[in-house]
Chains A and B, each alone.
Chain A
Amino acid sequence: DTEVTQTPKHLVMGMTNKKSLKCEQHMGHRAMYWYKQKAKKPPELMFVYSYEKLSINESVPSRFSPECPNSSLLNLHLHALQPEDSALYLCASRRLAGEISETQYFGPGTRLLVL
């Protein structure tokens, strides 16, 4: 099973709403990632969790709050977003084997529209 799942597939929210994006993998991967992707641009790293601990935060605004409840799950809590936050949010996971750079497996993404 090389699948990363994400819910919901689409999300429309107002600037005062609170919502959460969910990501799940059962490949035993111990690194999980959140990316933001705008149209026609490469994925832009937001957060990295290694062994369920936040290891990298790429200066993301506090209106985005990640959470890793266990080794299979990754959440992204959204609050008071701006219209410019509308994008495709991708989750990815990767097996950790020392510091060898290995493949990242991407989920299908959540298409977020902030009104």
Chain B
Amino acid sequence: GQQVMQIPQYQHVQEGEDFTTYCNSSTTLSNIQWYKQRPGGHPVFLIQLVKSGEVKKQKRLTFQFGEAKKNSSLHITATQTTDVGTYFCAGPTPGSARQLTFGSGTQLTVLP
């Protein structure tokens, strides 16, 4: 079945440093979504990428969708303590667009 892997699993950064998490799917994705889950919270939708090679920005966050639509990345510039949380990518489950297959997640800690 489809696998969606994320690396790294954990990342500690000093406040002000940059951070990147990478998402790789075993199958081609029609789109990819990114969610953020704060400690003790629930997943919150960040963005959806649909087109091959697409790049979208939200303030300090930059999202990319690979040309082959099998990988994606989230880059945060100059991290802040408010960026703490776990970042999940998710793609449609093959054969069922109503289901999402979540990546394993990257847990970000920002040290003040």
**Contact residues of A with B, CB < 8 Å?**
31, 40-43, 45, 48, 50, 55-56, 88, 90, 94, 96, 99-109
Alpha-carbon gap, A65 to B38, bound state (A) = 29
Chain A residue contacts of B99, Cβ below 8 A:
45, 48, 56
- Contact, CB under 8 Å: B42 / A108: yes
Q: How far is the CB of A81 from chain B (nearest CB, A)?
A: 21
Q: Write the B77-109 contact mask toward A (1 if CB under 8 angstroms, else 0).
A: 000000000101000100011111011110100
Set of chain B residues within 8 Å of A31, measured between Cβ atoms: 98
Q: Please report the C-alpha to C-alpha distance between residue A45 and residue B1 in the assembled complex, in whole angstroms.
A: 15
B111 interfacial contact with A, CB 8 Å: no
Q: How many A-B residue pairs have CB under 8 A?
A: 54
Are B42 and A101 in touch, CB under 8 angstroms? no
* B30/A101 in contact, CB under 8 A: yes
Q: Is the CB of B42 within 8 A of A107?
A: yes
Task: Report Cα–Cα, A31/B92, bound state, in Å.
Answer: 15
